Amino acid sequence: MKDIEQYSWAEDIEGAVTVSDTEGKVIFMNKRSRETFNKPGETMVGKSMMPCHSERSKEIMREMLGQNKPHCYTITKKGRRKLIFQTPWREDGEVRGLVEFSFVLPDDMPHYDRDKE
């Protein structure tokens, strides 16, 4: 993988960014991701995220990697709605792992139908 500094843009954005390799080993977590997923005094970077996931989730990850397709959904956690967008990331056209973006959705978030505008 190229230098991890390529992710410096993601360090302090308003959402969690977590990047793993094809085996599920975490290779990057931005500030929000570390705050969300790391236990005090520990880091997930360099560790497998697989033990943290159900069999259903592991199957979805295998499908994303094998079929090179994203997975997107919303959740409610601690009373806040979040958008979760997971997708394979590539290097020189080859799938190298997964990236997850997690963003809190405002309660009053507008929706625009660009087909009608």
CATH number (domain holding residue 68): 3.30.450.20
Count of structural domains, the chain: 1
Q: Does 4 map to a domain?
A: no
pTM: 0.88
Q: Does 7 map to a domain?
A: no
pLDDT digits (tens, 9 = 90+) for 53-88: 999 999 999 999 999 999 999 999 989 999 999 999
Closest CA to 49 of 71, 78, 27, 17: 27
Q: Does 1 map to a domain?
A: no
Q: What 8-state DSSP symbol labels residue 42?
A: -
Band (pLDDT 50/70/90 cuts) for residue 5 is low
d(CA 19, CA 42): 17
Range of the domain at 68: 16-104
Residue 13 near residue 28, CB atoms below 8 Å: no
